[in-house]
């Protein structure tokens, strides 16, 4: 899973209507403990309004001041905030963040369709992925700070197709894609050194909820707050009414046996099966078993999960490792909202390869 860009996507459509330039602030390097990591992005309007957060308030005030000069000159700039000094001699704010960040500011122009934010939106809309390379230092007269290059996943498989991207940048982009991690890299173009930030751009995570009961609503709300795209499916026509789920991205009436024809299941990052009917859960699970969805969450106790797995016969061993039932972290959840929080926290932890324990202690004990 990549860093969330949903706030940029939503902002892009508003900006297209307003036609006002905006400054994009991107963390391109971090050292030590920081609030956000490389690839985190924030938008700064010309009135100082922020969309997103990079430093938890540590350096946003200065970023706004620096952004004003970018609005005035149109020139991008790279900034370095070092908060590792125990005496806070530079900032005098007592931040205690104990880390450092390098941030690149770029002016996104309405008459250029807010490039490169438009490419991030295209990735989201097309459900593709790729590498965004941005120059932050350059001695080359024809390659300037702020210049961006986007290489889609299919282009990275055959670099010869991407003739408008310098070979050294394309090769570095391919290396970044294989490493699946944002990074800084040095490239050489016409014997001139150029430094770039390479970031993996992926579409927002996608959640499929099978079952449109009342308890699905808080699951949708938590998922949307995290920037997920959410699809709800139910076999009961009266349940899939848009007024019941106004924020959902897709709402579908489908019998289990038709699901694979109606949806591209492999595009989903997680699924929660919550029809509250053992018969329909079994029928849906048979279809899901053939998909590559990496996380399948089931409501109910362990013996219900085991019954559902037994019901799909020979397919059960193929998906048992990615079936979580009961789904969610053990947070003592009782209400539908608490259960939804538990579910989404469990999904997020599993996809990030974490166990969901307390951050402040090594061994978790009940209070």
Q: Taking residues 297-307, what's their average pLDDT?
A: 95
Are 27 and 198 within 8 A, CB to CB? no
Hey, is 96 helix, strand or coil? coil
At 9, the pLDDT band (50, 70, 90 cuts) reads confident
Cα–Cα distance between 34 and 54 in angstroms, integer? 9
Predicted pLDDT at 365: 46
Are 32 and 101 within 8 A, CB to CB? no
* Rg of the chain (C-alpha set): 23
Predicted pLDDT at 207: 97
Q: Where are the beta strands (DSSP E) in the chain?
A: 22-32, 41-44, 50-51, 77-82, 99-108, 130-138, 148-152, 183-189, 192-201, 206-210, 229-234, 250-253, 270-273, 296-298, 323-324
Give the pair of three-digit tokens for residue 137.
């230092």
Residue 90 pLDDT exceeds 80: no
Residue 116 pLDDT exceeds 90: yes
Predicted pLDDT at 162: 58
Average model confidence (pLDDT) across the chain: 89
Predicted pLDDT at 164: 80
Closest CA to 80 of 57, 63, 61, 98: 63
Predicted pLDDT at 8: 86
Cα–Cα distance between 156 and 163 in angstroms, integer? 12
- Write down the domain spans for the chain: 6-114, 127-201, 206-351
Predicted pLDDT at 3: 53
Distances 14 to 110, 113, 139, 160, 308 between C-alpha atoms, Å: 11, 12, 36, 36, 45
Q: Taking residues 152-169, what's their average pLDDT?
A: 81
The better pLDDT of the pair 34, 1 is held by: 34
Residue 95 pLDDT exceeds 90: no
> For the chain, what percent of residues have pLDDT higher than 70?
92
Lookup result for tokens 């997103």:
52
At 367, the pLDDT band (50, 70, 90 cuts) reads very low
Q: Taking residues 249-272, what's their average pLDDT?
A: 95
Lowest mean pLDDT among 107-116, 136-145, 150-159, 281-290: 150-159
Predicted pLDDT at 250: 96
Predicted pLDDT at 36: 86
Lowest mean pLDDT among 11-15, 34-38, 204-208, 247-251: 34-38
DSSP-derived secondary structure letter, 135: E
Distance of CA 179 to the CA centre of its chain: 17
Q: Phi then psi for 297, rounded to 5 degrees?
A: -105, 135
Are 37 and 101 within 8 A, CB to CB? no
What fold characterizes domain 206-351?
A: Rossmann fold (3.40.50)
The residues, ordered by sequence, that sit 6+ positions from 365 with a Cβ below 8 Å of its Cβ are none
Predicted pLDDT at 361: 66
The residues, ordered by sequence, that sit 6+ positions from 335 with a Cβ below 8 Å of its Cβ are none
DSSP-derived secondary structure letter, 38: T
Lowest mean pLDDT among 32-36, 92-96, 166-170: 92-96
Predicted pLDDT at 366: 47
Q: Taking residues 2-16, what's their average pLDDT?
A: 79
Residue 84 pLDDT exceeds 70: yes
Residue 347 pLDDT exceeds 80: yes
- The torsion angle over the Cα atoms of residues 100, 87, 57 and 50, rounded to 10 degrees, is -70
Lookup result for tokens 């099966």:
273
User: Which pTM was predicted?
Assistant: 0.83
């Amino acid at each position: 899973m990549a860093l969330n860009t949903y706030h940029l996507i939503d902002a892009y459509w508003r900006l297209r209507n307003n036609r006002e330039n905006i400054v994009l602030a991107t963390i391109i390097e971090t050292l030590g403990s920081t609030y956000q990591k490389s690839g985190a992005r924030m938008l700064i309007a010309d009135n100082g309004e922020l969309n997103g957060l990079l430093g938890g308030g540590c350096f946003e005030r200065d970023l706004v001041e620096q952004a004003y000069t970018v609005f005035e000159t149109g020139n991008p700039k790279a900034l370095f905030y070092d908060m590792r000094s125990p005496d806070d001699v530079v900032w005098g704010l007592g931040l205690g963040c104990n880390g450092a960040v390098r941030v690149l500011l770029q002016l996104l122009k309405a008459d250029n369709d807010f490039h490169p934010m438009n490419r991030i939106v295209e990735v989201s809309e097309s459900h593709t992925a790729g590498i965004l390379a941005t120059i932050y230092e350059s001695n080359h007269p024809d390659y300037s700070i702020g210049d961006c290059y986007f290489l889609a996943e299919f282009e990275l498989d055959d670099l010869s197709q991407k003739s408008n991207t310098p070979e050294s940048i394309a090769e570095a982009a391919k290396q970044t894609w294989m490493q699946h991690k944002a990074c800084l890299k040095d490239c050489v173009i016409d014997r001139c050194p150029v430094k770039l930030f390479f970031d993996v751009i992926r579409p927002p995570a996608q959640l499929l909820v099978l079952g449109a009961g009342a308890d699905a609503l808080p699951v949708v709300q938590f998922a949307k707050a995290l920037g997920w795209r959410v699809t709800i499916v139910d076999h009961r026509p009266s349940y899939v009414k848009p007024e019941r789920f106004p924020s959902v991205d897709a709402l579908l009436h489908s019998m289990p046996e038709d699901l694979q024809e109606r949806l591209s299941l492999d595009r989903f990052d997680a699924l929660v099966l919550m029809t509250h009917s053992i018969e329909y859960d079994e029928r849906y699970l048979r279809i899901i078993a053939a998909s590559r969805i990496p996380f399948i969450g089931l409501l109910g106790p362990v013996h219900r999960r085991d019954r559902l797995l037994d019901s799909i016969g020979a397919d059960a061993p193929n998906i048992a490792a990615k079936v979580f039932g009961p789904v969610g972290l053990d947070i003592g959840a009782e209400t539908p909202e608490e259960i939804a929080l538990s579910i989404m926290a469990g999904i997020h932890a599993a996809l990030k390869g974490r166990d969901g324990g307390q951050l402040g202690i090594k061994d978790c004990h009940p209070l």
